[in-house]
Structure 1
Amino acid sequence: MAGAGPGPGPGPLMGGYQGAARGRGVVAAGWRLCLAHRFPQPRRPYGAGDVPLRDVLRHVGLALRYFRWWYKKTCIEKKSAFIDLLCAVPLQQIYGCPLGGIGGGTITRGWRGEFCRWQLNPGKYHYGTVIADQFTVCLRRKGQTVYQQVLSVEKPSKLQGWNWGYCGHYAFYHALYPRAWMVYELPGQNVVLTCRQVSPVIPHDYKDSSLPVAVFIWEVENGNEEPVEVSIMFSMQNGTGTKADKSGGHWNEPFTLQEGGERVAGVLLHHCTPTNPFTFAVAAREKAGTAVTHLTAFDPAGSGRDVWQDLLQDGKLESPSGRSSVTAKGEETAAAVCATCTVPARGHRTLELALAWDMPRVHFGSKEKLHLRRYTRFFGSNGDAAPALVRYALAHYEEWERKIDAWQKPVLENSQLPSWYKSALFNELYFLTDGGTVWLELPHDCLPQELQTPGVASLSHLLPVLREYGRFAYLEGQEYRMYNTYDVHFYASFALIMLWPKLQISLQYDIAVTVINEDVEPRQYLMSGQTAQVKLKNVVPHDIGDPDDEPWQRVNAYLIHDTANWKDLNLKFVLQVYRDYYLTHDAPYLRDMWPVCQAVMESELRFDTDNDGLIENGGFADQTYDAWVVNGASAYCGGLWLAAVRVMCEMAEVLGDKETQQKYSGILQKGKEAFERLLWNGKYYNYDSSGSSTSSSIMSDQCAGQWFLGACGLDHGELEVFPKSHVVSALQTIFEKNVMGFAGGTMGAVNGMRPSGVPDTSSVQSSEVWIGVVYALAATMIQEGMVQEGFHTAEGCYRTVWEQLGMAFQTPEAYCEKKVYRSLAYMRPLSIWSMQLALESRAGRAPCAPPAPSSPVPGGSEQSNGDNLGPVASAGSQGPCPVPSSL
């Protein structure tokens, strides 16, 4: 079995940790490192200087057209480029678990404790640490303050009246998404603090999982023979560290909420920008033995000495009543909340603090439409929900943790699984919340324009699904800002269909709507320079829009290629429809999608130019590898085509459409023969049939069609499309050449490898490792019984990204063997959940069942949390299916 990753105690990233404390309640598996850690391998983003001369000469026209478009977009229209090749986001090796649920915006807290990445405005990021956002500890014995320290290793120029520079050698960070732990030993005090960070990210839950909240549970352990009074102060700036913090008009006010004998108290920070205003709530739970005090306002740009002395004096804050003054232009403001308790000798106590952010009504960049976030269904859209949100979080986080434990426990307790995999499986889920994610309510008073067009009425369950579960979108990547990029979602969709299947179904309905619709507006495409319409009817779009424009209404933000000619998009829609039905048994969904599948397959048939049952690529980059030219029959697109034809036969049988079944059965027989004749070389499937100098390259993704068929249970016996012996031989060749023959077998699988054993350098993408593709390849190996090889292949990517390159919680699309990476924080690595599905399928178990619905929010609409999945939910409410006990 592949080696274990960081486990309990010092691991590969724990060098320098000098403490003995293990932390209270810290789970064994996850990503752990000492706060004094430094990553030795800084990398830079792929840039113009990395383009080979031959490609520079070949793409002069593209470069000129791109720069002209970029200048107009950024300098004239004052908008952000959906892909900014001139201003890449620099790598910062600082990020930890993001805070918040799905679709309400996120705040990332770094592994050293800093609040450092902000995504509150939909799809837009601010990368910057707000230095005032901190936790500070104060210890008092016998009425005297003996220790007061900001729990930060920073030594900033602001707030110099505070005691900064906590020694990182005495603390460590541990992440297993959606939770994280920070364990601090306080030097010379014999006191250990464990801060447990919890966000409500709960599979099959469509209520609490939407909430923009996070809870910080501070476990305080006193190892002394005398009691100690402990205070934790949580300070927060009104804003996110942008110029808007100084725009003026912001103000703070204290609040309290009481229910059931317990009180929540804190401060509201009202951030009153003209577009997308929001309110922070910083609060603590007041219970027997815990006092909560606050400071309504202080200057985060000053020395902070007044705040420090206030806490130092008695371990509490002044707690003034009344709201603060409104900030003037150029002025910033911040607030603080403090929770205090006495910890007995050799004892333990808990302090509970929380953060909520209420931005209920949002505009995208065009500012044309006002949208309501999902959580407003339960907490209202008036902008006054922050107190209720933070109270709800403090009252329910223990229930959330029970559900998270039940979900993760079967994986974590399986001793046959390597610990790196346990870490990767859960931690890569960060992107479902921090991928610029929006989860919006469908308006009840009027339908959006795109849902009113002819043909949409044929989707009989469209409106019930969208009204019940809302509209979901996430970015291709934090640097590639297009929503629901479909060729990439094909890989990432396994996380949604396995954990929040109704969001996958909702997303598919939105894609179906775009298939039926068209956009005849002409535009120039940057690669070819040719002009064509934005969106053709009966063709799957590349994406559903740019967050700086108006997603859903204007689709296909991607304008490098005309994706109407891409060969994989239509096929990936058909494959996902059947995969979704196979895992959910949602018959109404299948009936609705069937005419759409027929339409896109008819559209796809035009690419079979010689009527041999197999589509051909067009001699350019016309699929998800959009810089890697492919011509003629190809392993990737040809394999996806045959898989899609196979599932068309299966869907036709399920729906009793014998005519269509006969049609595609005939195409399948011809296509299988052509695929083997044109591409099989005795060991693997050639990249393409063009006979070019690189057509015999070994593509790591050549079995993508088989991968999806395996996920649908259509990969064996009479159902098999690709001969099993050929699939296994191809996978063995990929493992030998693309994995073990690349970087000593330690970095995953390179996309393209020449038979001679050197990477295919015919394009930038052929010589890259794509992490999401590697996880899909590993899943395919597991499906075919190559379990050891599958885990070894995937392990290389995890070790490289998380342990060597410091790219935790920003897993990129790609990296090369040396020097560069491309596109930080990317969607595709969510495909690791296909490895989990492959493991569960090998164990002969049905897909996971949802838990029973939880109670409705007091005062809110009654709304089911669970999925109505039909026969597939045979496991009842026992939580996720365990992985095999033996690999």
Structure 2
Amino acid sequence: MRPKEHQAIPLGGIGAGYIAFYPDLTIERIAIFNDWANPAKIVRGFHLVLLGERPIFLQGNPGRNVESPPAYEVAEIASVDAEWPRIKYVFNSPVREVEVYAPIRAGDLKNSSLPLIYIRVRGRGTLAISFPNLAGRRWGRANFSVHTPKVDGVLMTNLKAHPADPAYGEIFLGCRGCRTYAGHPYWVPAHRGMTEDISVFAKLRALEDSGRYYIDPYAREEVAGIVWKEVEGEELFVLSWYARGRPHHYPYGHYYENYFQSSIDIAEYALEARLEPALPIEAGGWLREALANGLYVLSTTSWLTKDGRLAFYESPYVAPLMNTIGSFTWDGLGFALLQLFPDAVVKADEAFGLYSRDGEIPHDLGEETIESPIYGASHVAPWKDLAPTWILMIYRDYYFTGDSAILARNAERMKRSIDWLISLDKDGDCIPDSEGGYDNSYDGTHMYGRSSYIASLFLCALTAYVKAMEALGRQPDRRYLDCLERGKRAFDELWNGRYFIMWVRGREKNESCLSSQLAGQFWCDMLDLPPIADPRKIETALRYIYELGMKASMYCIPNAVMPNGEVSNETPQLRSCWTRVNFALA
């Protein structure tokens, strides 16, 4: 896939942060120091340059931050191909190819969580790479040339940063046999203000490396480290980092701390291991691209703590809630990750059960924490879609791993959640009653009484619970079986001949076509569970969801379409399009 001009491929280990690479081989977003919600958006000092009488930059517009650019050339990028976690640039120059990638590997959490990217260069010529020191604030930054039996490069650290600073840590850039220039102060005064200095590459080979560089007290400098090497065929460079900080919003440490003590340790290990990405995606064409590139959140919004807890932001900016469930958020991502890192997913899923309140399951594990769960992002009434979702997550983990111990550990909590959901049925139809707005993942959307979305999830969750008891060799209580049959009949009463309407309460009803009306059936299909309704009605409903949705919008299937074919504007959530629900429909 060739990325569009403003599309980036974010690369970095799980929970380790990321660097976003653009099609012109520039970077404009970096979040490697516990700053997922506040990435650096203006990045100076990163360059790849073919050294010679006149430097040839392998990037588009390297002088964009320069007031008066010196003489230089830019290599033509012939093609760009990206599939996360890799992006490859092909040039019409002596350096033919630059490939940047992170070693994300299925079943290998240690190597998949490395805070590093590889830069593989193919061709001929002397290639230089520079990278800015981003450790701590500018005061205290210091660069050191490093030469060990296994690696040569520049260590970029901060001598004054406090452990509470999110950017308390270090960066290393190097390769085997690299020459080094420890300190290039690239942010300097000019006629109209500060400017980036890229003239260093024209004289780099003649400069003497002092081996260290310190930013003077009170200076506004920014400093980069530079490495370079003669490439004859192929050369492998590494950029590694190590976040040592324990800031207030992330006191948990990183998984890589269990194996490595520094960014140099990581670089030495990476050059020795020469790791490659390994994601077994059994699909081709556009579907493979969609599946692979959809996993970019492993780099951008993931936490992987030192003790092995995996979590994802709902959104680092708008809703920094960790492992939100409901309507295929973390619960949806878990399907893909269960194939890649099953132990981490099971551990994350079981965490919700630990926070069960008499059967009520939280909406997430907390706002930038995984230890202060929130029971509904707007808790006016108990959320009805979270407990059934969690039950299905646990059954899914059992189904795909074959590990019945997962069911055994969670059976009692699953039962409490089922009983709690049944207690929310006020009219005896064996469907938890919706109470208006703010009691499910559609936030302020008003659903009353019997809702197709809630009903479908509950019926599939109850089916999964019955099957779980059978898998454990236990006889499910007859009242659950009776409730299941009664609930299916009640769900069927929502049928209007084309689809299951949004909700009904007595004589009141909303006949809009909700895209998630069969969310529970999706789970049943994925987990090989019996259907919650007549298969012919399910097929008909899916067809109408698709036809109504695609007529109402040229972009996607909206969350709700009214009977007249217009997108529902009742609430922002209903007029939205949730791509995760669209994928479930597909």
TM-score by length of 2: 0.91
Q: Aligned residue for 2:41?
A: 128
Amino acid across the alignment from 1:666: D
Q: Which residue of 1 aligns with 2:462?
A: 645
For the pair 1:297 / 2:136, whether they are aligned, the reply is no
Equivalent in the alignment of 2:538: 727
Q: Secondary structure at the match of 2:504?
A: coil
Partner of 1:742: 552
Post-superposition Cα deviations, 1:705-739, rounded to whole Å, max 9, x if no partner, equal 0000111111xxxx332211011000111111112
Compute the displacement of 1:581 (Å). Answer: 0.3
Preserved CA contact (<8 Å) 1:102 1:211: yes
> What TM-score, normalized to structure 1?
0.61
Query: Equivalences for 1:132-143 in 2 at 5 Å?
Result: 132-138=45-51, 140=52
Give the partner amino acid of 1:758: E
Match of 1:565, SS state, is: coil
The one-letter code matched in structure 1 to 2:347 is S
The answer to whether the aligner puts 1:686 opposite 2:501 as a matched pair is yes
Distance 2:331 2:312 in 1: 13
**Among candidates 495, 512, 516, match of residue 336 of structure 2:** 495
**What secondary structure does 1:295 align onto?**
strand
Which residue is equivalent to 1:231?
Answer: 126
Corresponding residue for residue 161 of structure 2: 273
Aligned to 1:312: 202
Determine the C-alpha separation between the residues in 2 that align with 1:342 and 1:657. Answer: 66
Structure 1 CA distance for aligned equivalents of residues 7 and 217 of structure 2: 33
2:567 is aligned to 759
User: Does structure 1 conserve the Cα–Cα contact (< 8 Å) formed by 2:324 and 2:363?
Assistant: yes
Counterpart for residue 212 of structure 1: 115
- Tell me which of 341, 358, 366 is aligned to 2:230: 341
Structure 1 Cα separation of the partners of residues 79 and 508 of structure 2: 51
Q: 2:314 aligns with which of 458, 461, 476?
A: 476
CA distance in 2, matches of 1:689, 1:356: 57
* Ranges in structure 2 where 5+ consecutive residues have no aligned partner: none
- Residue identity opposite 2:188 in structure 1: G
1:448 is aligned to none
**Moved >6 Å (runs of 4+):** 303-307, 691-694
2:205 alignment partner, SS class: coil
Q: Which gives a bigger RCO, structure 1 or 2 (Cα 8 Å, sep 6+)?
A: 1
Deviation of 1:296 after TM superposition, in Å, equals 0.7
Deviation by residue 1:518-546 (Cα, 9 ceiling, x = unmatched): xxxxxxxxxxxxxxxxxx45321111112
Shift of 1:619: 1.8
Secondary structure class of the residue paired with 1:400: coil
Q: Which structure has greater strand proportion?
A: 2
Q: Secondary structure at the match of 1:581?
A: helix
User: What are the ranges of 5 or more consecutive residues in structure 1 without an aligned counterpart?
Assistant: 1-29, 38-93, 221-228, 287-291, 344-348, 413-418, 443-469, 516-535, 779-887
Give the structure 2 partner of residue 845 of structure 1.
Answer: none
Aligned to 2:399: 582
Cα distance, 1:498 vs structure 2: 1.9
Distance 1:316 1:693, change over 3 A: farther
Are the equivalent residues in 1 in contact too, given 2:80–2:87 (CA < 8 A)? yes
Amino acid at match of 1:706: Q
Secondary structure, counterpart of 1:350 in structure 2: strand
Deviation at residue 559 of structure 1 after TM alignment: 4.9
CA separation in 2, counterparts of 1:705 and 1:197? 40
Q: Work out whether 1:771 is the aligned partner of 2:579.
A: yes
Q: Per-residue displacement from partner, 1:824-872 (whole Å, max 9, x unpaired)? A: xxxxxxxxxxxxxxxxxxxxxxxxxxxxxxxxxxxxxxxxxxxxxxxxx
Partner of 1:371: 252
Distance in 1 between residues matched to 2:458 and 2:101, nearest whole Å: 43
Is the 2:140–2:214 contact (alpha carbons within 8 Å) kept by the matching residues of 1?
no
Residue 610 of structure 1 deviates from its aligned partner by 1.4
Cα offset for 1:208? 0.4
CA drift of 1:201 comes to 1.1
1:233 and 1:336 in contact (8 A); partners too: no
Whole-angstrom distance in 2 between the partners of 1:553 and 1:176: 34
RMSD, aligned CA: 2.6
- The secondary structure found in structure 2 opposite 1:628 is coil
Tell whether the 8 Å contact from 1:137 to 1:231 is kept in structure 2 after alignment.
yes
Distance in 2 separating the partners of 1:257 and 1:695: 70
Give the alignment partner of residue 365 of structure 2, picking from 544, 566, 574. Answer: 544
Q: Structure 1 97/692 Cα, relative in aligned 2: closer, same or farther at 3 Å?
A: farther
Question: How far, CA to CA, are the matches of 1:306 and 1:114 in structure 2?
Answer: 15
- Measured in 2, the distance between the counterparts of 1:157 and 1:609 equals 65
Structure 1 pair 329–754 and aligned structure 2 pair: CA distance change class (3 A): same
Q: Which amino acid in structure 2 is aligned with residue 129 of structure 1?
A: I
Give yes or no for contact 1:701–1:773 (8 Å, CA) kept in 2.
yes
Q: Does structure 1 retain, via aligned residues, the 8 Å contact 2:146–2:153?
A: yes
d(CA) in 1 for partners of 2:536 and 2:257? 54
Question: Is the contact made by 1:251 and 1:270 (CA closer than 8 Å) also made in structure 2?
Answer: yes
Q: What SS does the aligned partner of 1:624 have?
A: coil
Closer/same/farther in 2, CA of residues 581 and 207 from structure 1, 3 Å limit? same
- In the alignment, which residue of structure 1 is the partner of 2:325? 486
- Any idea what SS the aligned residue of 1:215 has? strand
- Aligned residue for 1:504, secondary structure, equals helix
Amino acid at match of 1:109: F
Aligned partners of 2:119 and 2:237 also within 8 Å:
yes
Give the structure 1 partner of residue 488 of structure 2: 672
The answer for the alignment partner of 2:146 in structure 1 is 255
CA contact (8 A) 1:136 1:150 kept: yes
Q: Does 1:511 align with 2:352?
A: yes
SS at match of 2:510: coil
Among 428, 439, 444, the alignment partner of 2:304 is 439
* Contact 1:252-1:323 at 8 Å conserved across structures: yes
Q: 1:584 to 1:319 in 2, by over 3 A?
A: farther
Report how far residue 158 of structure 1 moved: 3.8
Q: 1:653·1:661 contact (CA, 8 Å) conserved in 2?
A: no
